[in-house]
Structure 1
Amino acid sequence: MNKAVIAATGATLLLGGCNQAAQAPEMTAQQLMAKEVQPTAEIYWNAVQFISDETGDHDVFPKTDAEWKAVQDAAVKLGKLGEQLKTPGFSEGRGQDWIQFSDSLIEVSKLAEQAAAERNTDKVFEVGGTIYSVCSACHQMYPPATGAGTEERPGDDAA
Structure 2
Amino acid sequence: MKTDRLRCSLLHLLPLAFILTTGCETPPAVPAAPPFTPVADVKELMEMVIDPAADVVWESVGAIITAEGTEEIFPKNDGEWATVRNSALVLAESGNLLMLGERAKGEGPWMIMSQALVESARIAFEAAEAKDADAIFMVGGDIYSACETCHVLYWYDEDGAIPSTGSATPPTTTSLILPEKVRASTQ
SS of equivalent to 2:98: helix
Higher relative contact order (CA 8 A, sep 6+): 1
Q: Tell me how far apart the structure 1 counterparts of residues 125 and 107 of structure 2 sit (CA, whole Å).
A: 28
**Matched residue count:** 133
Choose from 72, 90, 93 the match for 1:77: 90
Tell me the equivalent position of 1:27.
40
Q: Do 2:110 and 2:150's aligned partners in 1 also have CA atoms closer than 8 Å?
A: yes
Choose from 109, 126, 143 the match for 2:138: 126
Choose from 158, 161, 164 the match for 1:147: 164
Q: Do 2:96 and 2:114's aligned partners in 1 also have CA atoms closer than 8 Å?
A: yes
RMSD: 2.2
State the Cα deviation string for residues 110-129 of structure 1 (Å, max 9, x = none).
11111111111111100111
TM-score by length of 1: 0.74
SS of equivalent to 1:27: coil
Q: Write out aligned runs for 1:3-152 (5 A).
A: 14=32, 17=34, 20-21=35-36, 23=37, 25-53=38-66, 56-91=69-104, 93-144=105-156, 145-147=162-164
- Name the amino acid aligned to 2:81: W
Task: Give me the identity figure in percent.
Answer: 29
Tell me the equivalent position of 2:179.
none
Q: Do 2:124 and 2:139's aligned partners in 1 also have CA atoms closer than 8 Å?
A: yes
The structure with the largest helix share of the pair is 1
- Name the amino acid aligned to 1:35: M
State the Cα deviation string for residues 32-81 of structure 1 (Å, max 9, x = none).
11111111000000100111246542111100101001111111111110
Distance 1:61 1:146, change over 3 A: same
- Name the amino acid aligned to 1:99: M
Q: Tell me how far apart the structure 1 counterparts of residues 52 and 151 of structure 2 sit (CA, whole Å).
A: 16
Instruction: Quote how far apart the aligned CAs of 1:133 are.
Output: 0.9
SS of equivalent to 1:58: strand
Q: Tell me how far apart the structure 2 counterparts of residues 14 and 94 of structure 1 sit (CA, whole Å).
A: 24
Tell me the equivalent position of 2:23.
none
Structure 1, gaps ≥5 residues long: 1-6, 149-159
Tell me the equivalent position of 2:17.
none
State the Cα deviation string for residues 87-114 of structure 1 (Å, max 9, x = none).
01201x5452111111111111111111
TM-score by length of 2: 0.64
Q: Do 2:155 and 2:163's aligned partners in 1 also have CA atoms closer than 8 Å?
A: no
State the Cα deviation string for residues 137-157 of structure 1 (Å, max 9, x = none).
111111255327xxxxxxxxx
